[in-house]
Amino acid sequence: MFGRRKKLYISDTPQKRKRFRWLKITFISLGSIIILPVLFAFLFRQNLLNWAVEKAKNKAKKYHATLVVGSATISGIADVEITNLSLIPDDADTLLHIGKASSGLRVWKLITGNIMLSHLQLDQGFVNLVRYDSTRTNYSNFTQKKDSDEVEKNSKISLAQKGYKIIKNVLGQIPGKIEVGDFTISYTRGENKYYIKADGLRLDDELIKCNIDISTPSAYKEKIVSREKKVRKKTKHTKEIVESKVEKEISTTQIQRLKVEGFFDPDKMTGDVNIKSREFDMMYMPLAQEKMGLKLGAKELNLKLNEVAYDNGELVLKTFAEMKDIIVNHPRLANNDVKVSVGSGDIHLMVGENYITLDSSSTFKLNKINIHPYFRYQRSPVIDYDFKIATDRIGANDFFNSLPDGMFESLSGIDAEGFLTYRMDCHLCDTSPWNCSFNSDMQKENFRINRFGKAYLPMINGEFVYTAYDYGNPQKIIVGPDNPNYTNLEDISNYLKNAVLTTEDPAFFGHQGFIIESIRQSIAQNYVYKRFVRGGSTISMQLVKNIYLSRQKTLTRKMEEMLLVWMIENLGIVSKHRMFEVYMNIIEWGPGVYGIGEASRFYFEKSPLQLNLQEAIFMASIIPHPKWFASSFNDTTQMLKKHFKGYYTQISGLMVGRKLIEPEDTTGLEPNVVLRGPARNLLRKTVPISDSSELYDNPPLLMDDIRFRDH
Residue 96 falls inside a structural domain? no
Does residue 395 or residue 269 have the better pLDDT?
395
Within 8 A by CB and 6+ apart from 321, the residues are 301, 302, 303, 304, 344, 345, 347
pLDDT band of residue 457 (cuts 50, 70, 90) is: very high
Asked if residue 707 has pLDDT above 80, the reply is no
Residue 612 falls inside a structural domain? yes
- State residue 21's pLDDT score: 67
Within 8 A by CB and 6+ apart from 157, the residues are none
pLDDT band of residue 9 (cuts 50, 70, 90) is: very low
Residue 651 falls inside a structural domain? yes
Does residue 341 or residue 704 have the better pLDDT?
341
CATH of residue 626's domain is: 1.10.3810.10
Q: What is the DSSP string of 589-604?
A: EETTEESHHHHHHHHH
Find, among 150, 145, 79, the residue nearest to 117 by Cα. Answer: 79
- State residue 581's pLDDT score: 97
The 3 state secondary structure assigned to 664-686 is HHHCCCCCCCCCCCHHHHHCCCC
Residue 26 falls inside a structural domain? yes
- State residue 305's pLDDT score: 94
Residue 421 falls inside a structural domain? no
Range of the domain at 37: 2-43
Residue 14 falls inside a structural domain? yes
What mean pLDDT value characterizes the chain? 82
Per residue in 1-23, is it b (16+ CB within 10 Å) or e — as a string?
Answer: eeeeeeeeeeeeeeeeeeeeeee
In order of 6, 337, 517, 580, 653, the CA distances from 660 in angstroms are: 118, 47, 21, 16, 10
Residue 576 falls inside a structural domain? yes
Phi, psi of 288 (to 5 degrees): -65, -35
Query: What tens digit of pLDDT does each residue of 159-205 get?
Result: 999 998 888 878 777 887 888 888 899 998 887 888 888 888 888 88
* Overall pTM surpassing 0.95 (yes/no): no
- State residue 487's pLDDT score: 96
Query: What tens digit of pLDDT does each residue of 107-120 get?
Result: 555 555 455 677 88
- Cα 281 from Cα 299, distance rounded (Å): 6
How big is the CA angle at 520 (ends 519 and 524), to the nearest 5 degrees? Answer: 115
Does residue 660 or residue 199 have the better pLDDT?
660
Residue 705, helix vs strand vs coil: helix
Q: DSSP alpha helices (H): ranges in 156-221? A: 159-171
**Number of structural domains the chain divides into:** 2
Residue 568, helix vs strand vs coil: helix
Query: What tens digit of pLDDT does each residue of 322-335 get?
Result: 999 999 888 888 87
Residue 406, helix vs strand vs coil: coil
- Cα 487 from Cα 492, distance rounded (Å): 7
pLDDT band of residue 536 (cuts 50, 70, 90) is: low
| Mean pLDDT of all residues in 460-483 | 90
Residue 510 falls inside a structural domain? yes
| Mean pLDDT of all residues in 461-481 | 89
Asked if the bond preceding 266 is cis, omega within 30° of 0, the reply is: no
In order of 414, 497, 613, 625, 648, the CA distances from 668 in angstroms are: 55, 21, 11, 27, 11
- State residue 145's pLDDT score: 59
Query: What tens digit of pLDDT does each residue of 50-82 get?
Result: 888 889 999 999 989 999 999 888 877 678 888
Element at 3 (helix H, strand E): helix 2-11
Instruction: Provide the β-strand partners of residue 420.
Output: 394, 444
Find, among 655, 625, 630, 654, the residue nearest to 641 by Cα. Answer: 630
Query: What tens digit of pLDDT does each residue of 382-420 get?
Result: 999 999 999 999 999 999 999 988 888 888 889 999 999
Instruction: Provide the β-strand partners of residue 122.
Output: 101, 180
Query: What tens digit of pLDDT does each residue of 494-534 get?
Result: 999 999 999 999 999 998 888 888 888 888 888 888 776 65
pLDDT band of residue 540 (cuts 50, 70, 90) is: very high
